[in-house]
Structure 1
Amino acid sequence: MTRGANGKTGKPRASVRQKVAHGAFLITAARSVSRALDLVTLMVLARLLTPADFGLVAIATSAVQLTEAMLELPTGNALLQLKSVGRKPLDTAFTFALLRGLFVAALLAGLSFPLANFFGDERLVPLICFLSVAPALRGLRSPRAFLLFKHLRFRPDATAEIFGKLAALCIAITLALETGSYWAIAAGSVANPLFYVIATYVLVPARPRFTLHSWRLFHRYLGWSIAAQGLSALNWQTDRFVLAKIASQTTVGLFATTRDIAAMPYKVIFESIQRPVISALSRSNGHRDRQGDTYRLTLSAVLSIGIPIAFAQAILAPQLVELVLGPQWLTVVLVFQAASLTLIPGLFSSMTSSLLYASGKPNLIFTRNLYDWAARMPLTVGLTLWGGWKGAVMAFVVSDCLLAFLCMMLVRRTVGISVFQQLAGAWRAAISGICMVGIMLVVGHSTEAGSGPLGIILYLLWMVPLAGSVYAVMLLVIWISIGRPDGIERLAFHFAEPLLPKTARRIVLGRS
């Protein structure tokens, strides 16, 4: 395997890995900007609206997201499996996405009345109907974007996403200032996909046609994936529905919004790497060892990024919650901390999904989600009824850990990487992260954040770089001390090498 990596077969593999890394870096940067815009929007809206407003929209949004995810059509993943993509498969994928969006919108309009009766709030009827426009809009994006994904070109999609977020930010904040109504949140949710779709046609022009000519290319993915996505969405939204029935809208707003904010880094990381990783893993289909090697290195790299973020978020939870949402939200810091730490098991499950999609095994994703549902549903319902929002926190922590273990078992079955090997890929990041946490606790105990947003920002401006520096130095020291194995450290050095002085390059490479 080592010789092969240096031989003729190794060059293309290295090239693909660099393309994946470059694509992932580009999308990560774009998604980071996108989520930063989301945070700015939340920071403003949380000070103009009440937690009850967020709770009402959270209930409606959960209904929309659940229905949308249950009818998700991963046509893009199916197209990535094809060696070459022609006009008819692209038009078929567009037609499927459009029909699915229209069906979701119609279904939600019909469900809005019984849902409003169930939760005892008539305002949900127009709110759900309005939010249901978003799924229909998402199905209209330029189909030619899939061709760019297949060739590991992600800049146009990243640009379109940022444009959509900027438009949503402006519209939501303007409406909140003018009306002080929860409709500002809903308007931003619909404006985002609308302007994203417009941008895709400007950046990647296309004239799609309505056809189902190539439907057979998608039927295997559509069947299993719809079922798998439905279970996954149900697993994610169950605690919100249970809380909405037994608690006030204020409690739901506090819980749902805080958890969503904590999950933003997870979404940035996974949404950024999903398409590049599926593209890379798809190229090694039929070569189990090569696919396993690619997966192992990618998982290790993702965990090396996710672990310090999860640890730092949990330590800085009080400051982050007060800065983003305001002091009235500090009662749910525990939700933020728990959701931050579950970023780590969440990365295992998300990476497994990419592997199984790339391997053409959506049936295993359904099986995994079914087992997850069988464990998560009774835990969520029972613990939430018993302990309210604190019980819901316990439920999603335990459930996410169980799901991660199940995913590791599926990876062992698919590419032959043992559970121990998967966990071992994170040991350098784990040790470095623990050292980082120790420094943060010691320094944080002796220095407190100032009062108000400005004081918190000044505190974070020196604490976050300090934590990042400690983590990076420890990771580099451990990597050099064990012989500089292949991993994210080598990849990071590859990109940073032109910027480093010769002395630093010699130290990193071990040259005299």
Structure 2
Amino acid sequence: MSSPLPAGAAASPDPRDAEAGRPLAAPAVGPDHGLGRKVAKSAAIMVLGRLATRVVSVISTLLLVRLLLPADFGLVALAAAAFVIADIVTATSYGLVLVRRATVDRALYDTAWTMNLLRCLLLGGLVAVTADMQAALLGDPRIAPVLSVVALTVSLDGLVSIGMARLQREFRFGEIFRYQVTAKLLSFVLTIALAVLFRSYWCLVLGNLFAKLLLIPLSYYLAPHRPRLSLEHWRELFGFSRWMFATNLCMAADGQGPNLVLGRIGGIEAVGMYNVSYQIAATPVTELAAPVRAPIYSGYARVLGDLAALRDQHLDGFAFLSALTVPLSVGIALTAPEWERLALGPAWAGAAPMIAICALYALVDSLSHFTFNVFTVLDRQRLFVAIYATLGMIRVPAIIAGGLLAGPWGTLSAMLATGVVNVFVWHWQTGRLLGHAAAIPFLRLGRTVAAAVTMTAAVLLLRSVWPAIGNSSLEAFARLLTVAALGASVHILTQILLWRIAGRPAGVEQTLVTLLAQTVQRRRERRATSHGWARVLAPLLGRPREPKRPLRPLPALTEPG
């Protein structure tokens, strides 16, 4: 399974060294001219993987919302809330240590695997023992057997190969892509089959359990590692995980707070409506922003000794990713009525406003979360926890107060408002670590935000003169295509116009134009050098082949317009 890193990088750690107990090769530190390409390629692979899994998820959701009711989704989400909190709080993230550490040996891998196995067994046992108590607290006896199955699933998770962390360390994201897509496909097939057979919320729980049983051997096939029980490096890993524990506690309160508040205020139906709405609304974030964090972290680790290079990677990556997620998230918010009609059906009437506000909330939170890797790679977990805890002490009371004052919409509005505050705080603190002004990241987003505002105005103007949507799915589909085409055209044209007015400075627009030009150039080269049918058959027909025509070079992209 071992393979060398792409050209320009240090040799990949050889797993045979790990088996023998010898230290593995350290990742290259300092300038690496191929690093940007490796990070970009790895990010592209992860985005492709998430897009593939999202397609499967969308198909699964479209089928399940017609086989199950909002209460079914709400029951499973509410049952999982306490477990998810415990899972997030106790997550060790030992893979980050294995990626960041200069040298690793077999004992470190084995210690990480052993400690993660112990964690999963303890967590699974805790969930199983407290299942009845949690069901009583949540007021639904059906939750207890659901939690028992969840406990078994999480216990099995501790058996996954620790070699998966080595794949990230070696920039071998192709194997990670295969694992993630296979996991989603297995879960999809099993869940849909169970839903068709039983028409019950049990399909959501048992599908994940059966998929996990099949994924464990797959992890060892893709990332071979014969695990041994070991606690040799437990002090080092525990020292890292103690700060991760505090971080995870903040993340649990941040991520599961809405489920718990909505469950108390709006009931199981409100929880189900929120979870499905968020799945649709957060698509740009979950399929673009989230999957690139692992390659970006690996890229940060490679330039850890060069603060200027780290700063450039962070700012360039933030501007590029935001240029994609901002218009897509705003676009989903603007087309929420059509998504409700097409994706959910009549049983989910009234979800459109929730989809819109979830899209904006997910967007602002993703802008904050992009900074998290900087704190981790610089080993500033104490500062990270302090910031996260402070912001959490603002958000949690805010969503509770919003829920008490205005119901579910008050909770979601409070999440959006606190999310905007969080964006500015996180980037201000990141600027202090990397040595740039707090305003720099937002100045790079100026044209993107202005284009999104213009797009919003254009779509709202169109809606003001277009009659309200009817009950026809065909009409909803036509409206979605029309609104999306108008919004995309206005956004792209506005951003390009603003870029040209600014003198075509280096930035995300220049990067996108360069990538487009390179794609066109490669297509022209392939067309010129390919042996089409006419050129292949020419000698057989007694005719000479046409000489290849030279390519006309593209104009320099940096020349003024």
What TM-score does the superposition give when structure 2 sets the normalisation length? 0.83
Does the Cα contact within 8 Å between 2:98 and 2:104 map onto a contact in 1? yes
After superposition, residues 326-405 of structure 1 pair within 5 angstroms as: 326-405=345-424
Q: Is the 8 A contact 1:307 1:433 kept in 2?
A: yes
Q: Deviations over 1:53-101 (max 9, x none)?
A: 1111110122221110011111111112112332222222222222221
Aligned partner of 2:92 among 47, 66, 73 = 73
Q: Which residue of 2 aligns with 1:510?
A: 559
Q: How does 1:438-453 map to 2 (within 5 A)?
A: 438-444=457-463, 451-453=471-473
Task: Identify if the C-alpha distance between structure 1 residues 438 and 508 changes in structure 2 by more than 3 Å, giving closer, same or farther.
Answer: farther
Report if the CA contact (8 A) 1:78-1:217 is conserved. Answer: no
Distance 1:350 1:280 in 2: 17
Aligned to 1:500: 520
2:489 equivalent to 1:489: no
| Distance in 2 (alpha carbons) for counterparts of 1:63 and 1:323 | 32
1:471 corresponds to 2:478 = no
Contact 1:69/1:233 (8 A) holds in 2 = yes
Which region of structure 1 is more displaced relative to structure 2, 188-197 or 159-168?
A: 188-197
How far apart, in 2, do the equivalents of 1:93 and 1:452 lie?
55
Distance 1:355 1:482 in 2: 30
- For 2:41, the aligned partner's letter is H
Note the C-alpha offset of 1:220. Answer: 2.9
Aligned to 1:35: 54
Decide which moves more: 419-428 or 485-494. Answer: 485-494
Structure 2 counterpart of 1:236, one-letter code: G
Amino acid at match of 1:248: G
Structure 1 position 210, deviation (Å): 2.0
Q: For the Cα contact (< 8 Å) 1:164–1:194, is it kept in 2? A: no
Q: Is the 8 A contact 1:302 1:347 kept in 2?
A: no
Structure 1 window deviating more from structure 2 (441-450 vs 366-375): it is 441-450
Change (3 A) 1:457 1:221: farther
Distance 1:399 1:169, change over 3 A: same
Task: Give the counterpart letter for 1:497 in structure 2.
Answer: A
1:369-401 deviation digits (Å, cap 9, x = unpaired):
211221112112222122221111122112212
User: In the TM superposition, what whole-angstrom CA distance separates every residue of 1:305-358 from its partner, at most 9, and x where no partner exists?
Assistant: 110111101101111122222133231322211111123321232112111111
Maintained 8 Å contact 1:168/1:187? no
Cα 1:508–1:330 change in 2 (3 A) is farther
TM-score where L is the length of structure 1: 0.91
Matched residues in 2 for 1:194 and 1:316: separation? 39
Out of 312, 325, 331, the position equivalent to 1:312 is 331
The answer to whether the 8 A contact 1:224-1:362 is kept is: yes
Distance 1:141 1:447, change over 3 A: farther
Q: For 1:224-235, list aligned pairs within 5 A.
A: 224-235=243-254
Q: CA separation in 1, counterparts of 2:486 and 2:33?
A: 33
1:388-444 CA distances to partner (integer Å, 9 max, x unpaired)?
211111221122122222212221221122221121121121122223333434455
AA of the residue aligned to 2:287: V
SS in 1 for 2:291: helix
Letter in 1 for 2:495: L
**2: distance between equivalents of 1:127 and 1:181?**
12
The structure where helix makes up a greater share of residues is 1
CA distance 1:270–1:216, shift in 2 (3 Å) = farther
Greater length-normalized contact order (CA 8 Å, ≥ 6 residues apart): 1
Which of the numbers 120, 124, 147 marks the counterpart of 2:139? Answer: 120
TM-aligned CA distance change 1:100 to 1:505, over 3 Å: farther
Residue matched to 2:277: 258
Q: 1:474 to 1:207 in 2, by over 3 A?
A: farther
Q: CA distance change for structure 1 residues 407 and 510 in 2, over 3 Å: closer, same or farther?
A: same
One-letter amino acid of the counterpart of residue 68, structure 1: D
Change (3 A) 1:167 1:323: same
1:420–1:500 Cα change, 3 Å: same
Q: Name the SS for the 2:351 alignment partner.
A: helix
**What is the CA–CA distance in structure 2 between the aligned matches of 1:471 and 1:25, rounded to whole Å?**
23
Q: State the Cα RMSD in Å.
A: 2.6
Mean Cα displacement is larger for which, 281-290 or 437-446?
437-446
SS of alignment partner, residue 118 of structure 1: helix
AA paired with 1:33? A
8 Å CA contact 1:266–1:347 kept in 2: the answer is yes
CA distance in structure 1 between the aligned counterparts of 2:259 and 2:136, rounded to whole angstroms:
17
Matched letter for residue 506 of structure 1: P
One-letter amino acid of the structure 1 residue matched with residue 157 of structure 2: R
CA 1:503/1:385 → structure 2, altered by over 3 Å: closer, same or farther? farther
181 and 367 in structure 1: CA distance in 2 versus 1, 3 angstrom threshold: same
Give the distance between the partners of 1:341 and 1:292, measured in 2 at CA. Answer: 27
1:160 alignment partner, SS class:
helix
What is the rounded CA distance, in whole Å, between the counterparts of 2:428 and 2:361 in structure 1?
19
Q: Which moved more, 1:315-324 or 1:90-99?
A: 90-99
The alignment-based identity, stated in percent, is: 24
Judge conservation of contact 1:60–1:127 (CA < 8 Å) in 2.
yes
Aligned twin of 1:171 = 190
Question: 310-319 or 290-299, which moves further after superposition?
Answer: 290-299
- Structure 2: which 5+ residue stretches go unaligned? 1-27, 522-550
SS of the residue 1:210 aligns to: coil
Distance 1:488 1:92, change over 3 A: farther
The residue identity in structure 1 corresponding to 2:135 is: A
